[in-house]
Structure 1
Amino acid sequence: MPVTFNHTIIAAKNRQASAQFYLDLLEANEAPSWGPFTNIQLDAGVLLQFAEPPFDIQMQHYAFLVDDERFDRALARLQERGITYWADPHRQRPGDINHDHGGRGLYVMDPAGHGLELITRPYL
């Protein structure tokens, strides 16, 4: 069996709000939730589980490869909602996108303070 990515737990201040942010931005699917987790499912069965840990949340970086059409819709949602995004991970170019690796990309912060990256072409 090949190695594939199955799931991860993303620390959240409000697990429902964070799950909804990712659900909307990535056009993900709702998934059954249990115990301390609010779950959503990406393509290929990847599960994102949101939980509210009993400790301070440290920022993490999550990058998502999306097609051009989904990128356009995500960008439009960010703009419609007045959510700041950047072309670079150091947040020096607000309201802009990049054209790295022959595609397009942007960075945005989720409700818990994690950095999300949307890209239309993989790095490799």
Structure 2
Amino acid sequence: MSPSAPRYAELQVTTYFSFLRGASSPIELFAQAKALGIEALSICDRNSLSGMVLAHVAAKEVGLRLVVGCRLDLADFPPVRVYPMDRAAYALKTGSTVSARRYFRIVFRDRPVRRSISRIGRPSG
């Protein structure tokens, strides 16, 4: 990336780990991001952190930053993208918070939850 080019990071990339939503592997996405001069990607698959190991490997291979994220389809709220900020947030996402219908029940009034997760807007689509 040239010094005069604006810095850019894509914060809502969906991989093939989001069934019927994403088509590319994390390896393909990070290779393309590198070719385009993008500095960082956030993998935000739907209700899952499944692609993070592969994304971590891909990011290291091409020298880009991985921002771990997830799109949560909530039962009582529109979908949101969340970015775990600490170990407690990862435990929340990977624990037994998913019902049989694949919806999350997270109470954002809970201060530890609110501190552990950075929420940025509603995803489109």
TM superposition score normalised by structure 1: 0.25
TM superposition score normalised by structure 2: 0.25
Structure number with higher strand proportion: 1
